């Protein structure tokens, strides 16, 4: 798992995006989320891996990506 993937997973948990996910579905949710981020948010993933920095702009992009992912309901 890359630094960016770990960061996305931790951000999702810390910001409450898994609060409504059943415990038995958490692994599926995380796998689908990371696949979504790699395929749909590759620029963000690449930037996180390259820069290994976190700021308000990154947080805003992560919130938008997670809201989009959850609205899709593909997990």
Domain layout of the chain by residue ranges: 3-72
Q: Does the domain made of 3-72 have the CATH classification 1.20.150.20?
A: yes
Q: Could you tell me if 7 and 15 are in contact, meaning their C-beta atoms sit under 8 angstroms apart? A: no
Pair of tokens at residue 38: 């790699």
Per-residue confidence of the chain (75 residues) as pLDDT tens digits? 999 999 999 999 999 999 999 999 999 999 999 999 999 999 999 999 999 888 999 999 999 999 999 998 777
pLDDT for position 73: 78
pLDDT of residue 6: 96
pTM above 0.75, yes or no: yes
pLDDT on residue 52: 86
C-alpha 11/C-alpha 45 separation (Å) is 13
Distances (CA, A) of 18 to 6, 12, 22, 49: 15, 7, 8, 23
């Amino acid at each position: 798992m890359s630094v960016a993937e770990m960061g996305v997973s931790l951000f999702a948990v810390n910001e409450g995006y898994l609060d409504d996910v059943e415990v038995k579905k958490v692994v599926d949710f995380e796998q689908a989320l990371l696949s979504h981020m790699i395929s749909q948010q590759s620029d963000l993933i690449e930037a996180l891996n390259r820069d290994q920095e976190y700021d308000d702009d990154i947080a805003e992009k992560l919130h938008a990506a997670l809201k989009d992912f959850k609205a899709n309901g593909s997990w």
